[in-house]
Amino acid sequence: MKQMLSRSPYTLAGLVGLAACVFVSGCGPIAFTDDTSIVVTGNPPPPPPPPVQIKPKRVMVTADAIEITEKIQFAYNDSEILEASFGLLGEIKAVLAEHPEIKTISIEGHTDSDGSDSYNQDLSERRAASVMKYLADNGVDQSRMASVGLGESKPLVEEQSDADKEKNRRVEFRITAQDERKVEYEVDPETGERREVKAK
């Protein structure tokens, strides 16, 4: 028995060293070969949904105005509202419906300084009246609205470029009468988020 162990090339120390080489140091590549095919069944998981894109609000109510972040577009030197602004006017209508406490608004037309004072005054009046008519034709109570043209009398900026003139050509919505709005809120116990649940 002793002679058989002594002739064996796999001594205890050798086996320990081989194990250390294979499992610890990774001293040599180990190849696995198999001719058996692997069949994967079932459907792959669906792709993740696309991220939700929240459009920024274009119409906001402040203490004394309904502010819009885009301009109402008109035909050149005319009071005809372009179709590109129909969606924006629809959002203004929706905001007025959501805020019954807003009793009346003044729709104010403004122009740049190009042209005569009388021409700009007339154009601003026609554009403001056109906006009021569009809202009234689409369901806003006309008694809540009045229109006025201010021509070039109230510029936002001093005109030194075409970009400045563009800023001064605009329609604004001023709140002229409103009731106090009472709002109730609830707090989500899990997230701590406060949300409106009732408005009077």
Name the pTM for this structure. 0.66
Q: Determine the Cα–Cα distance for residues 47 and 43; give it in Å rounded to an integer.
A: 12
Q: Determine the Cα–Cα distance for residues 177 and 143; give it in Å rounded to an integer.
A: 12
CB 184 within 8 A of CB 197: yes
Q: Residue 200: what pLDDT?
A: 46
CATH number among 3.30.1330.60, 3.40.50.620, 3.40.50.300, 1.20.1560.10, domain 59-183? 3.30.1330.60
DSSP state of 81: B
**Strand-pair category, 145-149 with 102-110:** parallel
Q: Residue 187: what pLDDT?
A: 77
Q: Residue 6: what pLDDT?
A: 43
Domain spans in the chain, listed from the N-terminal domain onward: 59-183
Q: Which two tokens stand for residue 145?
A: 């609205």
Q: Residue 160: what pLDDT?
A: 94
Q: Determine the Cα–Cα distance for residues 200 and 192; give it in Å rounded to an integer.
A: 24
Max CA separation in the chain (angstroms): 124
Q: Residue 189: what pLDDT?
A: 79
Which residue, among 150, 38, 128, has the nearest Cα to 81 in the 3D structure?
128
Which residue, among 158, 172, 173, 171, has the nearest Cα to 113 in the 3D structure?
158
Residue type for position 106: S
Non-local CB neighbours of 166 within 8 Å, separated by 6+ positions: 112
Non-local CB neighbours of 88 within 8 Å, separated by 6+ positions: 58, 59, 68, 70, 72
Per-residue pLDDT of the chain (200 residues; tens, 9 = 90+): 444 444 444 454 554 455 555 554 455 565 656 677 777 677 888 888 888 777 788 999 999 999 999 999 999 999 999 999 999 999 999 999 999 999 999 999 999 999 999 999 999 999 999 999 999 999 999 999 999 999 999 999 999 999 999 999 999 999 999 998 665 667 777 777 766 665 54
CB 145 within 8 A of CB 108: no
